[in-house]
Amino acid sequence: MGTIRIDGREIPFKEGDNVLKAALAVGIEIPYFCYHDTLGSLGACRLCAVEITPKDPAKAPQVVMACLEPARDGLEVSVSALAARQVRQGVIEFLMINHPHDCPVCDEGGECHLQDMTVACGPPYRRYRGRKRTFTNQDLGPLVHHEMNRCITCYRCTRFYQEYALGDDLGAMRLRNEVYFGRFQDGPLASPFAGNLVEVCPTGVFTDAVFRQHFARVWDLKTAPSVCPHCSVGCNTLPGARDGTLRRIRNRFHAELNRWFICDRGRYGHQYSEHPARPLTPRVEDVKVSYRQALTAAAEQIKAARDKIGGLGSVREDLEGNAMLRALLYDLSGIFATFSDPQLEVATTTAVAQLQNTTRVLSLAEMEQVDAALIVGDLTAHAPMIDLALRQAYRNGAKLAVLHSGPTPLVRFAATTLTVPPHEIGAHLLRLNEWVAAPSAAHNKQEKELTDIATYLTAAHQPLLIGVIETMVAPEIAVLAQLSTALGSRARLAYALPGANAYGAALLTPASSTSAMLEAIESGQIQTLIVAGNDPLGDARLGARWRTACQRLNTLIVLDCVATATAEAADILLPVAAWAERSGTFVNYEGRAQGFASVFQRSEPLPSTAEVIADLAQCLGLAPPDAAVVLSDAFPGYQAPVPGTLGSPLAALPLPVQIDTTILPAKGPHPGRWQAALTSWYGDEPLAGFAPALLKLAPAAAALINPAIALSEGIAEGERVRLRGPVETMVLPVQLDNNVAAGTIALARGVLAQLGVGHGDPLELEKIS
């Protein structure tokens, strides 16, 4: 678009760039604090002073802020001019006047922008001998530590927190030299993206409170490019490890996915790998044994079971582990499955089949550009970074419509919200489909809302339809895909899948394998079950059935890195490496295969799932399968994606899934008076559930009910009610929430598992007199 000259060097720039952005793009280090690639320019810190020379020689050169100066063709800029250097030195000297000089105990030390800039442009000595202005700190919860004296007033925190992530509980207070960034009062930050403050803050005002407990300097940390294992988005991360333990997670820039930010589940969920209860030693019948002994014991049991064997992979197991287990089960003529719930299997495979049919699934960066979106379910809890991308779309003026049964933070930004019980979601999607095919007049309020949604979707240049698989059934997923087809080629479809590698697991899953496996165990057709990274006994809906079925097994062999209910019940437990301790591949919601590298080894190294299975095959006398060969058998032309790259689309054959679009009529009354709905929060995930700091933020167990229904039933807020599920009865306090549909009780995942009900299942509620 043209060039500017910086200290005699010709620099190209793009239309709309400022001088700072153009200079940083080619590696010219103009000092700055408040500018951020995503948050933009503000001109608050005054550090990026440069001198520009006007074309007219009669005019004197000016000192301007590089971040606020638009790049114009032929602009003469000098970074090294004396006047500019003096301004920068003055800024640093001024910022350091009130600095607490506590770098030795500051967690930012070593990666502190203020340290770098002070060394780069500041005066070497302190002249000011007066006293410093001080601030008290706030308790911002278990994730972010606050140390306000270190602040340099760059406003990056509030710009991220309020403007970008649309949070409302952190802001700037006071004025002049006493601007204070904090909450109205002490308390945990409410935003699911609060952890990014640690990274956007150029000094140590916001630091990682979890890392602080086992702090190590950045230069001591071992890092390698990795991918987040906590949801299907597949954000790129940079884990840091030291002395054989995982210490922290930082965001790693990926231009199409997470870019500069990750959610708090991704940043703090990693603690599961350092959980005190994590299995690190193999066990056979509750006796600690060596890896070889456990392997031999497992091989003996597998040989004894002959073909009466099953293998259960997982949506959180990497592609290599799942594919190797499948290959082993083929060799042993056993049954292979990857899901613990047949309903979830059908839902996920249907979704993946639909995604394979669509032209292209939008990346996060593209989702920010959509101008209308229909969201089915609670995205914040199931794919937090998609939620953040849609918040950007909302900031850009997109109309969001949310169709949901339980609380979801996105309703705050929704133009239209439809709060309906789980069994009516499908009917509403059908009505939308009908409306798009043949627009009709609305007769009541709900139809008016449906009409509104259909109107934005049809009027939009690029409408996005996105569903949360865990709270949808297969026909609803298919109908959402039909709606996308009906909206034409502009419409884009996406689903938040139930695990980091749910896409890959679904591609490897034989049709109806989960129900086949459960029935085979119940009928004694499977005597030895190998479970890799799955927790069938802790399944919300079918946990009780699995527990009964597994009692019929001779041997339960579990390969896992967390102490799940299944790992606790295992006859033979083979601990495996957590994701940061091994390399592997996850396939995200777009079908993008991304490799992650092994960051570190524990003091006693653990094998990955794929390695355990190869060793097991060797013990069985089979030719040990090789992950690369197995994967190229499953996916023609498969090439392992290189960690640290953008990832590559996984070329897979279309999934042979029977697409069922029959939605049960919602007109009739639901079998029960009440229906359970899953209410989840951003930290709720099988692995992150072992992260102690994150769990401190988990909402208290309660039965969430719509206030209008509670009034008609005579239930008051805080009243304790008895919930009767097929497995257990529980007494819980009632919490009234406007975002819960009528006739629906929204419950946390743990409560659902205890009661033995899934999302959308009937449930009895009794008042305790």
Partner 1 sequence: MNKQTPTLLIRLWRSLWTTLRHAWAKRETVSYPEVKRPLPGRWRGRIVLTRDPDGEERCVACYLCSAVCPVDCIHLQATQRADGRRYPETFRIDFSRCIFCGFCEEACPTLAIQLTPDFEMCERSHNELVYEKEQLLIDGQGKHVGYNFYRHAGIAIFGKAIGEGVCDTPPVDHDTNLP
- Pick from 14, 72, 101, 306: which binds partner 1 (CB under 8 A)? 101
Q: In whole angstroms, how close is the CB of 180 to partner 1 at the nearest point?
A: 4
Give burial (CB, 10 Å; 0-12/13-18/19+) of 473. buried
Half-sphere exposure of 212 (CA within 13 A, CB side): 18
Q: Decide: is 696 part of the binding site for partner 1 (CB under 8 A).
A: no
Total residues contacting partner 1 by CB under 8 A comes to: 33
Confirm if 572 and 556 have CB atoms less than 8 A apart. yes
Stretch near partner 1 under the rule CB under 8 A, chosen from 215-223, 388-396, 417-425, 696-704: 215-223
DSSP string, 537-553: GG-TTTHHHHHHHHTT-
156/144 Cα distance (integer angstroms): 15
Q: Decide: is 163 part of the binding site for partner 1 (CB under 8 A).
A: no
Identity of the residue, 102 or 307, whose beta carbon is nearer to partner 1 in the bound complex:
102
- Pick from 103, 365, 415, 486: which binds partner 1 (CB under 8 A)? 103
117/616 Cα distance (integer angstroms): 55
Identity of the residue, 136 or 444, whose beta carbon is nearer to partner 1 in the bound complex:
136
Confirm if 312 and 337 have CB atoms less than 8 A apart. yes
Confirm if 34 and 46 have CB atoms less than 8 A apart. no
| Residue among 314, 245, 344 at smallest CA distance from 604 | 245
C-alpha distances in Å from residue 351, one per residue of 192, 457, 511, 623, 721: 26, 21, 13, 35, 37
Site string for partner 1, 230-259 (x = CB under 8 A): -------------x----------------
Q: Decide: is 173 part of the binding site for partner 1 (CB under 8 A).
A: yes
Q: In whole angstroms, how close is the CB of 690 to partner 1 at the nearest point?
A: 22
Identity of the residue, 202 or 725, whose beta carbon is nearer to partner 1 in the bound complex:
202
Site string for partner 1, 134-153 (x = CB under 8 A): xxxx---------x-x----
**Tokens 């930004």 found at:** 413
Confirm if 649 and 591 have CB atoms less than 8 A apart. yes
Q: In whole angstroms, how close is the CB of 136 to partner 1 at the nearest point?
A: 5
| Count of other CB atoms within 10 angstroms of residue 657 | 20
- Pick from 56, 73, 219, 287: which binds partner 1 (CB under 8 A)? 219
Q: In whole angstroms, how close is the CB of 135 to partner 1 at the nearest point?
A: 6
Q: Decide: is 590 part of the binding site for partner 1 (CB under 8 A).
A: no
Site string for partner 1, 112-131 (x = CB under 8 A): -------------------x
422/427 Cα distance (integer angstroms): 10
- Pick from 40, 43, 109, 750: which binds partner 1 (CB under 8 A)? 109
- Pick from 133, 696, 720, 767: which binds partner 1 (CB under 8 A)? 133
- Pick from 104, 397, 621, 637: which binds partner 1 (CB under 8 A)? 104
Stretch near partner 1 under the rule CB under 8 A, chosen from 62-70, 174-182, 651-659, 724-732: 174-182
Identity of the residue, 8 or 104, whose beta carbon is nearer to partner 1 in the bound complex:
104
Stretch near partner 1 under the rule CB under 8 A, chosen from 172-180, 476-484, 504-512, 599-607: 172-180
30/540 Cα distance (integer angstroms): 54
562/554 Cα distance (integer angstroms): 23
Identity of the residue, 99 or 283, whose beta carbon is nearer to partner 1 in the bound complex:
99
Q: In whole angstroms, how close is the CB of 147 to partner 1 at the nearest point?
A: 7
Q: In whole angstroms, how close is the CB of 179 to partner 1 at the nearest point?
A: 9
Confirm if 18 and 70 have CB atoms less than 8 A apart. yes
**Diameter over CA atoms, the chain:** 95
Phi then psi dihedrals of residue 587, to 5 deg? -110, 120
Q: Decide: is 174 part of the binding site for partner 1 (CB under 8 A).
A: yes
Confirm if 680 and 468 have CB atoms less than 8 A apart. no
Contacts of 160 (CB under 8 A, 6+ apart): 36, 39, 193, 196, 197, 200, 261
Identity of the residue, 62 or 137, whose beta carbon is nearer to partner 1 in the bound complex:
137
- Pick from 7, 96, 180, 525: which binds partner 1 (CB under 8 A)? 180
Positions that interact with partner 1 (CB under 8 A): 99-105, 109-110, 131-137, 147, 149, 173-175, 178, 180, 182, 212-217, 219-220, 243
